[in-house]
Amino acid sequence: MATPLVELPSPVVQSASCHPATAATMYAIVDCNSFYCSCERLFRPDLWNRPVVVLSNNDGCIISRTDEAKRLGVEMAGPYFQAKPLIEKYGVTTFSSNYNLYGDMSRRVMDTLRHLVGAQRTEVYSVDEAFLDVSGLGTAGYRHLALHIRQTVERWTGISVSVGIAPTKVLSKMANHTAQKNKQGTQCVYVLDTPQAIQQALANTRVDELWGIGRRYAEKLNSWGIYDALQLSRMPESWARKHLGGIAGVRLMKELNGEPAIGLGDELVTKKMIATTRMFGKPVTTLQQVKEAVATYISRAAEKLRRQKSVASVITVFMVYKTAQLPGAHFRHGTSVSASVILPNATANTHELIKPALQIAEQLYQAGYIYKKAGVLLSGIIPADAPQGNLFVPKAPDANGRLMEMMDNINFSMRNDVLRFAAGGTVRNWKMRQEFRSPRYTARWKELPEVH
């Protein structure tokens, strides 16, 4: 665990708006290296320099791997059952997803970055990535700044990161990719601050490695004779508007040529959609099991909804059932069925969401199928203090708001859904597998690390 801070060093910038207007725009992206694996290694120092992988929900696929595991041939996003012989052969340490731990460590990393450059200069892009506006901060050189950011994050949190700095966000992603490809040679930092450095990086970057270019777009570009980012950057904007998705393609071209076109975004505090999905721990065949799972997922989604002080007016339920797989064929995730319903009045009360969700589940369920996964999605989200009325269905007084608040408080303090609706079941033997989950070192008192 990272050593508690007694005295914080001065941040890189004292004010988020103090950089000179004349300074060239420069963006940094800080990316945690093999983040989930790094979180596990932080509390298991015996695993440093050893191959480690982390599995997705239900121990299904590999979603994080260390460089040591990568060199052994363990593929990213591949099914665990396919990689298991290789993992067992080389003694690769395997963990189930521990999102309580990962979320807490992510918060610590992002708080460190906000302290260093200011909250208004920080855009949390994902659980393990953040963009920083470092314009005018590299007075001692941007490589020195990148090293300072990397070393501070690693010293305060114990999480290793890579830092890429460039005049645009797309180029900074490219710089970060270069830093990660050669961690030893670059010290996990790379800066593109000259035309020569940018041109060389463009020439060394395949189009399928570019931020914003997916596999299908990359295949199209290859068919047109465009294989690297330098070739793409030389195409006219009119071509990009026609062949790369309109304005999004034009922005990409501008960014590749060093012209900022994608600014720093505000952190999304209030979500516009809330989803809860899980793989089942074992094949599910009965309607009762499906309904228990859907009720449980709705309860979890409703908690998230109330946490951001919102209400939802649309419920979507989906289920994935197992389809036949031919021997030797590529792995398939199964066929999905879904349906939605619009509520007469937006709500965040769990019991008001469970009833229509279970009705959808009954409509979707078909006897004789084996179900692998289910999920719910809440949308039509608006602030709880400003709901839109229904002309034909008057809204009843919310007499259960206090009840929901009490349930949330008790469940948060006691954990493990001490209070839950009966529709969610009591046995719940369909819950997802987590056979290799590590302790929740920073989120549960009973699972704190012990020093002997």
C-alpha to C-alpha distance for 344 and 305, rounded to whole angstroms: 18
> What letter represents residue 27's amino acid?
Y
Please indicate, yes or no, if residue 28 is contained in any of the structural domains. Answer: no
Q: Please name the residue ranges forming H helices in 392-433.
A: 401-414
Please indicate, yes or no, if residue 305 is contained in any of the structural domains. Answer: yes
C-alpha to C-alpha distance for 170 and 240, rounded to whole angstroms: 16
Please indicate, yes or no, if residue 347 is contained in any of the structural domains. Answer: yes
261 with 254: CB under 8 angstroms? Answer: yes
Helix (H) / strand (E) element for 145: namely helix 142-157
- 396 lies in which domain range? 274-424
Residue showing tokens 């033997």: 429
Please, which residues bridge with residue 29 across strands?
131, 164
What 3-state class would DSSP assign to 7? coil
State the pTM of this model. Answer: 0.78
Please indicate, yes or no, if residue 74 is contained in any of the structural domains. Answer: no
pLDDT of residue 405: 87
Q: Please name the residue ranges forming H helices in 308-377.
A: 350-364
C-alpha to C-alpha distance for 218 and 236, rounded to whole angstroms: 18
Please indicate, yes or no, if residue 47 is contained in any of the structural domains. Answer: no
Please indicate, yes or no, if residue 267 is contained in any of the structural domains. Answer: no
pLDDT of residue 332: 57
Please indicate, yes or no, if residue 209 is contained in any of the structural domains. Answer: no
305 with 384: CB under 8 angstroms? Answer: no
Divide the 452 residues of the chain into consecutive groups of 10 and give the mean pLDDT of each group: 43 46 78 96 93 90 95 92 94 93 95 95 94 90 95 96 96 96 92 94 94 88 94 91 88 94 74 86 88 92 92 94 59 78 92 94 92 92 77 62 85 75 76 81 83 75
List CB contacts of 439: < 8 A, sequence separation 6 or more. Answer: 43, 447, 449
Report the number of distinct structural domains present in the chain: 1
Please indicate, yes or no, if residue 415 is contained in any of the structural domains. Answer: yes
CATH number, domain containing residue 405:
3.30.1490.100
pLDDT of residue 14: 43
**Listed residue (162, 130, 128, 117) closest to 266, CA to CA:** 130
